[in-house]
Every structure is written in C-alpha cells, then in structure tokens.
C-alpha cells in the first residue's frame, strides 16, 4: 500500500488575561488547560522518530505563558517555562504563524492585518528562538483571498484553509482537491493552500479510536494516484478529548500514541509529517480559489461568519471596530507628534487590536462588552493624544 501522509494541526488560544482571570474563578479549568499543553511534549518525548505535530499558538496565549508573573502563579501545576522550551523541539513540533490577538481577519479592518501579523512574529521569535515560520493559521480558519499579498509579504509559504471553501480552477478529482496542496493567486501574488479535511477534523475534536481513523483515511485516499496529504486541524485545548486527565480518554494517550506504535511496528502506512517537509518532497499542484468563510463552529457552518455576526449587538461591535481604526489613523497622521503623543497613540492602538479578538463576539453577546471596554479605553488615549499627550 502507498504511504498516507498525515498533518496533525492544533490551534491553541486563550484570550488576553483569560487564564489569569480563571485562576480566580475556576482554578481547575486552568489546570486542565495547562495540563493539555504540557501533555503534548510529555506524551511525545520518546517518539521523536515518528511523531510530527503542527501548532498554532496565539500571541495572547504566548504572552500569558511567557509572563514571569503567570509562571510564578501556576508553578506548582505546570512549569510553563520548561513547557515552552520543550515546544522548541523541531523534530516533534512545527509552529504556524497567526494573528496576535486571534482576530477573524476576514471580518477585521484590512488596515489592521499587518499589525496583527507583525506583533505575533515579534513574540514568537522571542519564545521559540527562530524567525522563520513557513505556514500560517488564519484564526478560526477565517480566510479570504485578499489576505494572500499580506501573508506573502510576511514570508509565509503556505496557509491552511477549510475544505468546504476550495474551488478548483484546473480540473481535478475530489481526492486531488482535498488531499493535495494547491496554488491560489490574488493580485499577482501566489501562495500554497493546504486543505483541512472538515469531516476527519470533526472526528479528531470529538474523539475517535485509531482503528476507525486508520480505516477512514485508507478509504478516502485509495483512489489517489499521488502521495496524499491528509490534514486534520482542530482546537487542541478545548473539549474533554484534549483536556481529559484520564489516559484512556485522551487524544494523546489513547489515540495518537497507538497510531505511532502501529507505525513503528510496521503495521501502518500512515506517515505523520510537517507540511513544509511534504511540500519539499512533493510540491503543490493545480490552481484553486478559496471562498470567504470560517471553520464550522458548534452551531454554524461557518460560511457566513454567523457565529460572529448573528446578532445586532455583534454587528454593532464590528462596525465600531471599523470606525475606531479611522479615528486612530487620522490621529497617527498628525505631523510633529511628541513622544507623549506617540505613546498615547500606541496605547490606543493595542487596545483597538485586542478589541478584535474573535472570542469577544464568538459567544453570542456574552463577551461583546469586552469590545466596547477596549474601545472606550482607546478613546481615552486618543483624547489624550489630541490634547498633546499625558
């Protein structure tokens, strides 16, 4: 049988200050989340020869985990410094770039995209001691073609997209469309798109046994006349499957280590891979376009972003975010600004960016107040800037 290459991709994100706040209200949940992070390298230390895991970690999560104050608070639970050091193991882990505050970029003002991308690379370079990140994870897989020139400018080779939105330009089979990387182009800029299998990803998030998964990937790729790349991508810190501390009910200890053991024993044609390594060997083939959309959420398909725009309060918050940028840009264009004014503008700027966090409008209207809280604070700093600084 031919080899089936498998890219396991996990998105890890916590909103700004969320873990600190949860320590005051739900300490056990913080422990579950931290155990989920720490369990990854601990489960895989002895599998460097076969295990390959690709991670996206938001800037706000990296900010929290690398903060000495937070590390001190949770030291008796997880040694965050050692855990982050373990994630630097390039034989086991590859890191995808993303947006610092985890915005749904397709819903975020285009003028803010560069800041989100630049700020994430800044903290990731510090945490992971590297400056090269080949792949990009759009938060919530919220992709639009207009992102392509920005991703290329920031040095990205490929981007993850959801299988539901990929349309072939060249003629290709169902298997080719889903299990082969392709090229997408926008305004003369090209990037490789790697297609996430939505159905298999749903199973990965919900919980599955190795036998089912192995049978499924064989059935789905049996007509491939090319080396297939099966990409499954989900959250890696949400849900009982990843948080469960019972070894018989956890993704790593129940499913993934069995998969690796079967590969070592010669009983499996599944080959865990980093996406960049697959591209180096087999390249990308065929041209596609990608429609606007996000991955599926608990209640919605994702194509209309309804999870983030379903109510009037959510839509009003998005409108205010868009208006806020223009006020900030106008203030930033003022000539001859003093150091105090520039500092005020910087304070306003990061609050506008944080207001764009996807979680703020994910939970219906429950967290919309966070958008307005940050934008109100940004208003205060803008008023100081207009008054000549603090």
Does some domain include residue 305?
A: no
389 or 92, higher pLDDT? 92
Contact 185, 148 (CB under 8 A): yes
d(C-alpha 337, C-alpha 342), whole Å = 6
Res. 1 pLDDT band, cuts 50 70 90 = low
d(C-alpha 32, C-alpha 117), whole Å = 29
Q: What is the pLDDT of residue 363?
A: 84
Q: What is the pLDDT of residue 389?
A: 63
d(C-alpha 306, C-alpha 8), whole Å = 27
- Please determine, for residue 148, whether its predicted confidence score (pLDDT) is greater than 90: yes
d(C-alpha 288, C-alpha 197), whole Å = 16
Q: What is the pLDDT of residue 329?
A: 62
- Please determine, for residue 345, whether its predicted confidence score (pLDDT) is greater than 70: yes
Quick one: what percent of the chain has pLDDT higher than 70? 96
Res. 341 pLDDT band, cuts 50 70 90 = confident
| Domain match, 272 and 215 both | yes
What pairs with residue 56 in β-bridges? 11, 96
| Domain match, 126 and 274 both | yes
145 or 296, higher pLDDT? 145
Q: What is the mean pLDDT of the chain?
A: 93
Give the domain range for residue 18. Answer: 4-290
| Domain match, 262 and 347 both | no
- Region of residue 293 (left: phi > 0; alpha: psi -120 to 50; beta: else): left
Q: Choose one of 290, 321, 351: the last residue of a domain.
A: 290
Over residues 307-329, mean pLDDT: 82
Q: What is the pLDDT of residue 333?
A: 60
d(C-alpha 170, C-alpha 287), whole Å = 6
Contact 194, 229 (CB under 8 A): yes
d(C-alpha 380, C-alpha 373), whole Å = 11
239 or 79, higher pLDDT? 79
Quick one: what percent of the chain has pLDDT higher than 90? 79
Q: Is 10 helix (H, G, I), strand (E, B) or coil?
A: strand
CATH number for the domain harbouring residue 251: 3.20.110.20
Q: Is 287 helix (H, G, I), strand (E, B) or coil?
A: strand
Smallest Cα–Cα separation from 284: which of 208, 194, 153? Answer: 194
d(C-alpha 16, C-alpha 354), whole Å = 8
Q: What is the DSSP string of 87-98?
A: TT-TTTEEEEB-
- Please determine, for residue 388, whether its predicted confidence score (pLDDT) is greater than 80: no
Backbone angles phi, psi at 373, to 5 degrees: -60, -45
Instruction: Look at the chain and report how many structural domains it folds into.
Output: 2
Q: What is the pLDDT of residue 331?
A: 64
- Please determine, for residue 325, whether its predicted confidence score (pLDDT) is greater than 90: no
Res. 370 pLDDT band, cuts 50 70 90 = very high
Over residues 214-236, mean pLDDT: 97
| Domain match, 107 and 175 both | yes
Q: What is the pLDDT of residue 309?
A: 87
Does some domain include residue 104?
A: yes
| Separation in Å, CA 32 to CA 43, 56, 84, 104, 214 | 16, 19, 17, 26, 28
Q: For 102-127, what is each residue's pLDDT tens digit?
A: 999 999 999 999 999 999 999 999 99
- Please determine, for residue 338, whether its predicted confidence score (pLDDT) is greater than 90: no
| Domain match, 223 and 327 both | no
What pairs with residue 99 in β-bridges? none
Q: For 178-188, what is each residue's pLDDT tens digit?
A: 999 999 999 99
Q: What is the pLDDT of residue 300?
A: 83
d(C-alpha 229, C-alpha 220), whole Å = 11
Q: What is the pLDDT of residue 99?
A: 97
């Amino acid at each position: 049988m031919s080899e089936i290459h498998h890219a396991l991709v996990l998105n890890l994100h916590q909103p700004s200050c969320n873990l600190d706040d949860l320590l005051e209200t739900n300490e056990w949940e913080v422990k579950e989340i931290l155990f989920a992070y720490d369990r990854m390298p601990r489960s895989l230390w002895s599998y460097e020869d076969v295990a390959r895991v690709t991670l996206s970690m938001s800037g706000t999560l990296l900010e929290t985990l690398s903060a000495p104050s937070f590390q001190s608070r949770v030291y008796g639970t997880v040694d965050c410094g050692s855990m982050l050091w373990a994630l630097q193991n390039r034989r086991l882990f590859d890191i995808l770039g993303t947006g610092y505050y985890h915005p749904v970029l397709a819903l975020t003002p285009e003028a803010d995209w560069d800041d989100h991308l630049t700020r994430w690379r800044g903290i990731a370079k510090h945490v992971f001691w590297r400056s090269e990140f080949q792949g990009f994870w759009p938060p919530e897989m919220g992709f639009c073609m207009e992102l392509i020139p920005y991703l290329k400018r920031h040095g990205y080779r490929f981007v993850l997209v959801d299988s539901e939105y990929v349309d072939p330009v060249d003629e290709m089979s169902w298997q080719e469309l889903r299990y082969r990387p392709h090229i997408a182009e926008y305004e003369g800029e090209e990037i490789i798109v790697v297609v996430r299998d939505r159905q298999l990803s749903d199973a990965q998030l919900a919980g599955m046994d190795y036998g089912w998964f192995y049978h499924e990937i064989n059935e789905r790729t049996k007509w491939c006349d090319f080396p297939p790349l099966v990409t499954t991508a989900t959250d890696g810190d949400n849900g009982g499957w990843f948080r469960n501390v019972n070894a018989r009910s956890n993704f790593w200890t129940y499913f993934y280590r069995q998969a690796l053991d079967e590969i070592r024993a010669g009983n499996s044609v599944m080959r865990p891979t980093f996406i960049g390594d697959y591209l180096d060997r087999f390249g990308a083939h065929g041209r596609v376009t990608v429609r606007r959309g996000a991955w599926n959420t608990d209640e919605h398909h994702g194509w209309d972003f309804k999870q983030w725009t379903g109510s009037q309060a959510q839509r009003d918050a998005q409108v205010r975010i868009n208006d806020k940028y223009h006020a900030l840009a106008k203030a930033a264009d003022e000539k001859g600004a003093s150091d105090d004014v520039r500092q005020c503008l910087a304070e306003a700027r990061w609050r506008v960016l944080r207001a764009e966090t996807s979680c703020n409008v994910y939970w219906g209207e429950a967290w919309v107040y966070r958008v307005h809280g940050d934008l109100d604070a940004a208003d205060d700093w803008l008023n100081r800037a207009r008054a000549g600084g603090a």
